[in-house]
Amino acid sequence: MKPADSNGRVKGGADAVLTASGLGVGFFPEGKARLEVVGEVDLCLRPGRTTALVGESGCGKSITAASLGGLLPRGMALDRGEIRWAAGAECRPGRGLAYVFQDPGECLDPVFTIGSQIREVLPKEERGGAGERMSALLRTVGFEDPARVLASYPHQLSGGMQQRAMLALALAGRPRVLVADEPTTALDVTVQAKILRLLAELQRQENLAVLLITHNLGVVAEIADEVHVMYAGRVVESGPVELLRNPRHPYVKGLLKALPRLDGADSRLEGIEGSVPPLGRRPAGCRFHPRCPLARAVCQEREPEMRRRGEEGAVACWACGEGGWA
C-alpha cells in the first residue's frame, strides 16, 4: 500500500518509479476559459506492480495516461500538479515510459517491416547488434520464429501477433513504466487472455511498473495490485485491488453490478442509469449526483474530497464517512 496523507493524497514511496500528485489537465477552447478534463489525480507507480485506472469512457483515464508522457491531444495541457521520476529514470515515450494502445493495427506503420520499426526504438548504442536484440525481444513476447516476424509487414500478422509485436516495440527502449491503454479491447476473447498473461509475465521478467487503463473490472481483479476508479475526470475511489470485493463509492458499486455473472446466482445486469456528463457540462457538487441513488442535498452543493479509510484505500463520497454520512 502506498503511503498517503489523511486525505488520501499520494506522498510517493521510496521505491516508486513515478509519482504524480494533484495532476490536472485543462482543455483550452479558443477564446474561452479553461475546462478541466482531469483533476486532482494522484498516482504512485512501482516496479513489478500493476496500477489500474478504470471507469466508463469519457472519465479521463486515457487523458491521465497520455499526460504522463506528453502525448496530450491538441488544445489540452497538463497544467496542474507534479510528476516526479525516481533518480536516474528518464521520462519520455520510448525511454522511461512506453505505451501499448488498443488497436495495434492503427499503431504499427503499414509501410515498414516489424524489424525496421523495432530498430527505430532501440537505444542508439544497441543498434549495432540490433538483429540479436530484436530477435530476443520477439522471443520474449512469445514468437518462436523471430526472423520471419522481423521481415513481416503488419498486415501479414494477426491481431494478437500485432499486439505482441507492439509489446516488443514498447520494450525495445527499456522502459521503466509501461502504459497499457485498453491493450486487449480490439482482440478476440481467447487472444485477450493470452496477451494479458504475457503482460503479467513481462512485468515480472522486466520488473516493470505497469499502468493499465481499462473499463474491464474483471481484468483488473485478475492482474492489478492497485486500482483507481475515475468518474468525470476525478478519482472517486482508490486502494488495493481487494477494494473491489467491498467497494464504498456508489459508482464503483454500480460498475460491479453491471458485470455479467457466470455462476448463475443472478443473471440480471443492473447497470447505472444515465451517462457520464460531457466536458463543460459537469454538475456542481458531486459529479455523480445526477446518477446516484443515494444523493442528498449536500451532494449537489459541495464536491466531496478523497478521504482515507485506513489501509483499505480512499474514497470521495459524502455517504462514505466513518459510520455513514459525513
Q: Which residues contact ligand SF4 by CB under 6 A?
A: 249-250, 286, 288-289, 292, 294-295, 299, 304, 317-319
CA separation for the pair 108, 114 (Å, rounded): 8
Instruction: Specify the residue, 93 or 254, whose C-beta has the smaller distance to ligand SF4.
Output: 254
Cβ proximity of 168 and 100 under 8 Å: no
Cβ proximity of 52 and 220 under 8 Å: yes
Question: What's the closest the beta carbon of residue 44 comes to ligand SF4, in angstroms?
Answer: 24
Cell reading at 112? 515498414
310: which DSSP letter?
G
Question: What's the closest the beta carbon of residue 76 comes to ligand SF4, in angstroms?
Answer: 26
For the packed helices 159-172 and 189-206, what is the interaxial angle rounded to 10 degrees?
A: 20
Instruction: Specify the residue, 176 or 234, whose C-beta has the smaller distance to ligand SF4.
Output: 234
Question: What's the closest the beta carbon of residue 235 comes to ligand SF4, in angstroms?
Answer: 13
Sign of torsion over alpha carbons 24, 90, 140, 107: positive
Instruction: Specify the residue, 169 or 316, whose C-beta has the smaller distance to ligand SF4.
Output: 316
Question: What's the closest the beta carbon of residue 256 comes to ligand SF4, in angstroms?
Answer: 14
Which burial class, exposed, middle or buried, applies to 59 when counting CB atoms under 10 A from its CB (0-12, 13-18, 19+)?
buried
Question: What's the closest the beta carbon of residue 231 comes to ligand SF4, in angstroms?
Answer: 9
Taking residue 58's Cβ as centre, other Cβ atoms within 10 Å add up to 17
Instruction: Specify the residue, 98 or 243, whose C-beta has the smaller distance to ligand SF4.
Output: 243
CA separation for the pair 255, 268 (Å, rounded): 13
| β-pairing verdict for 177-181 and 97-100 | parallel
Instruction: Specify the residue, 166 or 272, whose C-beta has the smaller distance to ligand SF4.
Output: 272
82: which DSSP letter?
E
Question: What's the closest the beta carbon of residue 310 comes to ligand SF4, in angstroms?
Answer: 19
Instruction: Specify the residue, 175 or 233, whose C-beta has the smaller distance to ligand SF4.
Output: 233
Instruction: Specify the residue, 49 or 289, whose C-beta has the smaller distance to ligand SF4.
Output: 289
Instruction: Specify the residue, 208 or 243, whose C-beta has the smaller distance to ligand SF4.
Output: 243
CA separation for the pair 69, 152 (Å, rounded): 29
Question: What's the closest the beta carbon of residue 260 comes to ligand SF4, in angstroms?
Answer: 24
Helix residue ranges, H only, the chain: 61-68, 104-107, 114-121, 130-140, 146-150, 159-172, 189-206, 217-223, 250-257, 297-301
Question: What's the closest the beta carbon of residue 236 comes to ligand SF4, in angstroms?
Answer: 7
